[in-house]
Amino acid sequence: MYLKFKSFASILIGVLFLGISLGIVLGAYFENNELDYLIYISAFLAAIGSAMVILGALKKDDWFR
């Protein structure tokens, strides 16, 4: 499997967004704080991260090899 740098960077940034959103959810679960709206923001970050990982994986060059 050969990935261009743009695809690799998209996958890497998508995984970063997924990790940040998971950290927000776990932090809100273990800490009883007043910033409950961050959980809603983490849903958008998870959606963006998942889309970036999927699109980065689909943009590989070895489709016809």
- How confident is the model at residue 31, as a pLDDT? 78
Spatial separation of the C-alpha atoms in residues 2 and 11, rounded to whole Å:
13
59, 10 Cβ separation under 8 angstroms = yes
Read off the pLDDT of residues 4-35 as tens digits, 9 standing for 90 and up: 888 889 999 999 999 999 998 888 888 776 76
- How confident is the model at residue 16, as a pLDDT? 97
Going from N- to C-terminal start, the domains of the chain cover: 19-58
Q: Tell me, yes or no, if the pTM score tops 0.85.
A: no
Residues 6+ apart with CB under 8 A from 2: 60, 61, 62
Count of residues for the chain? 65
